[in-house]
Structure 1
Amino acid sequence: MRNYSIYTLKTKLEFTNLYQYLGEKDYKQLEQQILCHSYHTPICTWNGIVINGIEAYELFRKHSIPFRIKRLHFSSKEDVISWICTDQLKREDLTNINKKYLIGKKYDAEKILVSRQLSSTNKSHISGASIAAKKISEECNVATATVYKYSAYSSALDIIDEKVPDLVKRVRSGQLWISQANIIELSGLSKEQLLSLNNYLLAEKIEHLSYHDMKRELLWNNYAKPILKKESSVSIPSIRNLPQFDPDAEIASLTLTIPSWNSSIERVLKVSDFKIASDTAKYKLKYQLMCLISTTNNILKKLEEI
C-alpha cells in the first residue's frame, strides 16, 4: 500500500476539543470501514499533530492498520483553530450546541489573526474584534451580537472543562441541557462546587438544568453565593386604591434608569484594569453587554416602526 504506514502522531486537547465526536452507531460504522480497508481518507496533520480525523486515527492505531496522512501548513495555531472550526461547521450532523461553541472559538481565533495582521500594517488602531465578528457573522449567517454571545459561551464552557471535563462532555454530547446564561453562571464556580453539582446531576439523573433547578432543587446556595434576595413583603392595594393606568409609565421608568447604566459603564472604563481582571468576570460582562445590545436594538426597531 503506497504511502500507507502506521504513523505515530500527536494530539492536542485544544484541537480535539473542537471536534464533535461520532455517535455509537456512526463510530462502529467507521470502525467497520477501517477493518474492511474501505476507508481511504487521509488523516490531516499540522506539525505532526492530528487536526482532522481523530477517531479514524485512533482506530487505525488500535487495529494496527496502515493509513495515509495529509500534511497541512499553517502559520499559527490560531490559523489551525479557524480551519478546524470551518471544517466542523460544514457537518450536517453538527448539533446546535457545538455550532455555537465552534462559532465562538472561530471568532476568538480570527480576532487574534486580524489584530495581528492590522498590527503588521500599522493599523493597530482599528478594532480587530469588530472586523472578525463581522466576518464570522457573514460566514455563519448569524448576527454580529450573536457571535459575541457565542464567544462568551464557548469561553465559559472551556473554563468549566478545565475543572470538570465530564460536565462539559455531557453538555456538548446533548446528554445534559443547560442554557447559555446558566453555563456562564456555572463557569464562576470552583472546581469543588462544580464536582458536587455534577455528582448531584448524575445521581438524580437530571438531564435539563434550569435556573429554577439551581435555585430550588439543587439548593443553589450550597454551590455559590446567594445572587437573589428574598422579596420583601409588599401590601397589595385594594382595587379602589389602584392607580390609573399610565401608558408612559414603563417607558419613563426605563428612560430614567438608563443614565445610571451609562454612569456605571463609564466608571468601569475609568477605574477597572481589564488586563488583570479574571477571565470569568470579563466573559460574564461581555455576555451581559451583548444581551443589552440585542435588547436595545429591539427597542430601537420598535421606536422606528412608529
Structure 2
Amino acid sequence: MHNYNLYTLKTLPEFISLYQQLNEDEYNQLEQEILHHSYLTPICTWNGIVINGIDAYDIFRKHSIPFRIKRLHFTCKEEVMSWICTEQLKRKDITSSNKKYLIGKKYDAEKILITRQLSAINKTHISGSNMASKKVSEECNISPATVYKYTTYSHALDVINEKVPDLFKRIRSNQLWISHANIVEISILPKEQLLNLNDYLLSEQISHLSYPEMKRELQWNNFAPLIPQKESPVPAIRNLPKYDPDAEVASLTLTIPSWDSSIERVLNVTDFKTVSSLAKTKLKQQLMQLSSTVNKTLKILEEK
C-alpha cells in the first residue's frame, strides 16, 4: 500500500468542535468501509493536526490500519477554522443547528483574519467585522444581519459548552431542539442551574422545547433546581439562584452583535438623502450617547 502509514497525528478540541459528529449508525458504516478497504479518502492535516476526517482517523488508529494523509498549508489557526467550517457546510446532511453554529464560527475566524490584514496595512487597529459579515453572507447566500444573528447563536452555544458540555453535544447532534431565543437565554444561566436544566430535560425525555414552553413549564422567572428532591425539603432560601458575577456582562456580550446587525442593516438599506433632518438629528443624538457609554465602559474595563 504505497504512501500508506500508521501516522500519529494530533487533534485540537476547537477544531473537533466544528465537526458535525457522526451518529452510531454512520460511525459503524464508516468503520465497515475502512475495515473492507473501501475508504480511500486521505486524512487532511495542518502542522500534524487532523483538520478533516477525524472519525476516520479514530477508526484507523483503533484497528491499527495504515492510511494516507494530505498536508494542507495555512498561515494560522483562523484560516484552518474558516476552511473547516466551509467544508462542513458542504455536507448534505448538515443540521440546522450545526449550520448556524458553523456560520457564526466562520464569521469569527474571518473577522480576525480581515482585521489583522487591515491593521497591517494601516498600522492601526481596524475592525474587519463589516467585511467579514459581507464575505460570509455572500459565501453562504444569507444576509449580513443573519450572519450576526448566527454569530450570537454560536457564541451562546460556546458558553453552554464551557458550563455543560453534554447539553452542547445534544443540541449540536439534534438530540435536543431548543429555539434560537432559548439558546441565548439559557447560556446566561449559572453553571449549577444549567446542569439542573440539563438533568431535567434528560429525566423527562424532553427533546423539543420552545420559548413559551420554557417560560411556562420551567417557571423561568423564578428559576430553581428542577429535579424533585428525594430527601427532606431544604429551606426555600437554599433554592434561590446563586449570584453569578458574570451574568450581566455575558448577557450584554451576547446582545451587542444584534446592535451591530441593526446599524449595519440601516446603513445598507437607507438613502440618508431622503431622511428628514429631525430623524437624522435624533439618530445622531442616540449614537453619540451610545458612543459615550461605550467609551466609558471601555475605560472601566481598561482600569480593571
Band of TM-score, shorter chain? 0.7 to 0.9
Counterpart of 1:281, as a letter, is L
Deviations 1:36-64 (A, max 9, x none): 11111111111211110000000011111
In structure 2, C-alpha distance between the alignment counterparts of 1:197 and 1:290, rounded to whole Å: 30
Q: Give the length in aligned residue pairs.
A: 250
Counterpart of 2:254 in structure 1 is 283
Give the 3 Å change call, closer, same or farther, for CA 292–176 of structure 1 in structure 2: farther
In structure 2, C-alpha distance between the alignment counterparts of 1:288 and 1:203, rounded to whole Å: 38
In structure 2, C-alpha distance between the alignment counterparts of 1:140 and 1:132, rounded to whole Å: 12
> What is the SS of the residue equivalent to 2:133?
helix
Deviations 1:92-125 (A, max 9, x none): 1111111111110000000000000001111756
Question: Does the Cα contact within 8 Å between 1:189 and 1:223 map onto a contact in 2?
Answer: no
Question: Does the Cα contact within 8 Å between 2:45 and 2:51 map onto a contact in 1?
Answer: yes
Q: Structure 1 residue 165 and structure 2 residue 136: aligned? A: no
Following superposition, the deviation at residue 293 of structure 1 comes to 7.1
Counterpart of 1:75, as a letter, is T
> What is the SS of the residue equivalent to 1:281?
helix
> What is the SS of the residue equivalent to 1:41?
coil
In structure 2, C-alpha distance between the alignment counterparts of 1:8 and 1:161, rounded to whole Å: 28
Provide the TM-score with structure 1 as the length reference: 0.75
Deviations 1:163-209 (A, max 9, x none): 11111111111111111111111111111111000000001111112
Counterpart of 1:234 in structure 2 is none
Question: Does the Cα contact within 8 Å between 1:133 and 1:144 map onto a contact in 2?
Answer: yes
Counterpart of 2:69 in structure 1 is 69
Question: Does the Cα contact within 8 Å between 1:170 and 1:176 map onto a contact in 2?
Answer: yes
Structure 2, unaligned runs of 5 or more: 225-247, 276-304
Counterpart of 1:46 in structure 2 is 46
Between 1:201-210 and 1:128-137, the stretch displaced more is: 201-210
Give the 3 Å change call, closer, same or farther, for CA 101–43 of structure 1 in structure 2: same
Q: Structure 1 residue 119 and structure 2 residue 90: aligned? A: no
Provide the TM-score with structure 2 as the length reference: 0.76
Counterpart of 1:136 in structure 2 is 136
Counterpart of 1:283, as a letter, is L
In structure 1, C-alpha distance between the alignment counterparts of 2:203 and 2:33, rounded to whole Å: 37
Question: Does the Cα contact within 8 Å between 1:115 and 1:124 map onto a contact in 2?
Answer: no
Deviations 1:216-268 (A, max 9, x none): 212224537xxxxxxxxxxxxxxxxxxxxxxxxxxxxxxxxxxxxxxxxxxxx
Counterpart of 2:105 in structure 1 is 105
Runs of 4+ in 1 over 4 A off after TM superposition: 123-126, 291-300
Question: Does the Cα contact within 8 Å between 1:45 and 1:70 map onto a contact in 2?
Answer: yes
Following superposition, the deviation at residue 295 of structure 1 comes to 10
> What is the SS of the residue equivalent to 2:192?
helix
Give the 3 Å change call, closer, same or farther, for CA 291–199 of structure 1 in structure 2: farther
In structure 2, C-alpha distance between the alignment counterparts of 1:94 and 1:157, rounded to whole Å: 17
In structure 2, C-alpha distance between the alignment counterparts of 1:88 and 1:186, rounded to whole Å: 26
Counterpart of 2:202 in structure 1 is 202
Give the 3 Å change call, closer, same or farther, for CA 39–175 of structure 1 in structure 2: same
Following superposition, the deviation at residue 299 of structure 1 comes to 11
Give the 3 Å change call, closer, same or farther, for CA 166–138 of structure 1 in structure 2: same
